[in-house]
């Protein structure tokens, strides 16, 4: 019988709940078997079935294990009462359930909560919980840092280190869901929506984001509907086409400009994939369902992209795309030269879009007092680099 994973108690900051949760971490390196243990949090149903079959067990065991992991938050294989002692022991010898550790917790007066989560390699990512009357949204990260260098985004200023694994992506959801349940002393699901709008460009990590999404959608995992999971992208067109095949969830596009000249300055990726090509991919993405719309995110930058002329150009640009425009008041961060457009300017911009027949809303700023608002997430990026990762990466 192989070594079991040890239990470590999550450290609490001054603002954290008085009821901490415990998570399993891998046993010490010299205790592990020759093969590196697999983190089961990152295996979707098909991958977990393959892993179980490779152990000589029947595939249906995966359907027993998934709810224990994700829905009940059980990380001790011996506590999974319906899988048998023999399988539990074998899993303890060959697999782990490793959750990112909480480095700090920050609570805003509007109820928004930001966690800085420490990864095994010393990097840290940020995850944000946004409670509302009709839904509870979790904003998660897909990379450590970001290589796209968007001018108005704090994450981009941190540089890029690496992609997150599927287990590290799902681990953010596991951590938040079961910590919140523990605080509320309730087994009821807390998180209703998940958005890939944290650190990183999700479509440059589709190899890991894809399985993570499938776990979020699986009825034996988190059971979220496709419309309640949103991937936000700056416009990696080839991967956007693949996303439709991998996991056709809701789509948000970081547009921020109505023409190529301005977008080249704000979103450098535009130099590779022009707006016309990006909009073509967006049309293809929603073509099979007339009810679906693409959400276009537009950060309102004073004196940069917020004039009436910009609004009219944007309305013209999106006239043939099933679109919803989300106007985002710019959220400042240290070192930025950009400023937020005034409320009056944002209202005028929105009204021009509405008059042109577009659906347009102004996003309510949440969590800016703890730097948890859109564009403010930074985390801790070790060995950061300004290198651009291959745009065709999966």
DSSP 134-162: S-EEEE--SEEE-SS--TT-HHHHT-EEE
CA-nearest of 290, 367, 353 to 325 is 353
Q: Is 146 labelled as part of a ligand binding site?
A: yes
Contact 202, 211 (CB under 8 A): no
Distance CA 70, CA 304 (A): 44
Is 132 flagged in the annotation as binding?
A: no
Is 201 labelled as part of a ligand binding site?
yes
Ordered alpha helix ranges (H), the chain: 45-54, 60-66, 85-94, 154-157, 166-184, 206-217, 237-246, 260-266, 275-286, 308-317, 343-355
Is 316 annotated as a binding-site member? no
Q: In Å, how far are 30, 99, 107, 166, 233 from 184, measured between CA atoms?
A: 38, 20, 16, 27, 33
Is residue 200 part of an annotated ligand binding site?
yes
Residues with Cβ within 8 Å of residue 349, at least 6 apart in sequence: 300, 306, 308, 310, 311, 327, 341
Residue 150 token pair: 């968007």
Name the β-bridge partners of 136.
131
- As given in the structure block, the two tokens for residue 172 are 């953010």
CA gap 394, 28 in Å, rounded = 32
Give the residue numbers annotated as catalytic, written as ranges. 126, 374
Positive/negative CA dihedral, 245, 246, 251, 254: negative
Let me know: does 338 contact 157? Beta carbons within 8 Å. Answer: no
Residue 122: how many CB atoms within 10 A of its CB? 10
Q: DSSP for 222-289, please give it.
A: T---GGGEEEEES--HHHHHHHHHH---EEEEE---SSHHHHHHH-GGGGTS-HHHHHHHHHHHHTT-
Residue 282 annotated in ligand binding: no
User: Whole-angstrom Cα distance, residue 115 to residue 378?
Assistant: 12
139 known member of a binding site: no
Q: Is 256 among the annotated ligand-binding positions?
A: yes
Please state, in angstroms and rounded to a whole number, the distance separating the CA atoms of residues 98 and 69: 11
Chain position carrying tokens 């959220």: 331
Q: Is 337 annotated as a binding residue?
A: no
Q: Which residues are annotated as a binding site for S-adenosyl-L-methionine?
A: 200-201, 232, 254-256, 331
Q: Which residues are annotated as a binding site?
A: 146, 150, 153, 200-201, 232, 254-256, 331
Q: Which residues are annotated as a binding site for [4Fe-4S] cluster?
A: 146, 150, 153
């Amino acid at each position: 019988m192989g070594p079991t994973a040890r239990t470590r108690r999550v450290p609490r900051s001054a603002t954290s709940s008085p009821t901490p949760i415990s998570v399993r971490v891998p046993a010490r390196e010299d205790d592990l078997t020759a093969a590196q243990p697999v983190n089961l949090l990152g295996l979707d149903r098909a991958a977990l079935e393959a892993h179980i079959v490779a152990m000589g067990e029947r595939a249906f065991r995966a359907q027993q294990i998934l709810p224990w992991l994700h829905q009940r938050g059980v990380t001790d294989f011996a506590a999974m009462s319906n899988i048998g002692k023999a399988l539990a022991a074998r899993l303890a010898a060959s697999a782990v359930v490793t959750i990112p550790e909480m480095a700090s917790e920050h609570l805003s007066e509007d109820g928004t909560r930001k966690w800085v989560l420490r990864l095994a390699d010393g990097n840290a990512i940020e995850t944000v919980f946004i409670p509302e009357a009709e839904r509870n949204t979790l904003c998660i990260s897909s990379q450590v840092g970001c290589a796209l260098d968007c001018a108005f985004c704090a994450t981009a200023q941190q540089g890029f280190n690496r992609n997150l694994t599927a287990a590290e992506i799902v681990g953010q959801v596991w951590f938040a869901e079961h910590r919140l349940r523990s605080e509320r002393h309730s087994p009821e699901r807390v998180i209703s929506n998940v958005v890939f709008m944290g650190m990183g460009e999700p479509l440059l990590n589709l190899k890991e984001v894809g399985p993570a999404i499938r776990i979020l959608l699986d009825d034996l995992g988190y059971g979220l509907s496709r419309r309640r999971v949103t991937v936000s992208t700056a416009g990696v067109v080839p991967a956007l086409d693949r996303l439709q095949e991998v996991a056709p969830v809701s789509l948000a596009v970081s547009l921020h400009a109505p023409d190529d000249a301005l977008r080249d300055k704000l979103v450098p990726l535009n130099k590779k994939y022009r707006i016309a090509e990006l909009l073509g991919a967006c049309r293809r993405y929603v073509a099979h369902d007339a009810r679906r719309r693409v959400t276009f995110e537009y950060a309102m930058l004073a004196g940069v992209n917020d004039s009436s002329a910009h609004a009219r150009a944007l309305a013209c640009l999106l006239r043939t795309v099933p679109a919803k425009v989300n106007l985002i008041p710019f959220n400042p961060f240290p070192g930025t030269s950009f400023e937020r457009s005034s409320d009056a300017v944002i209202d005028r911009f929105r009204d021009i879009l509405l008059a042109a027949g577009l659906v347009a809303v102004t996003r309510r700023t949440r969590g800016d007092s703890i730097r948890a608002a859109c564009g403010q997430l930074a985390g801790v990026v070790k060995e950061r680099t300004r290198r651009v990762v291959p745009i065709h990466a999966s």
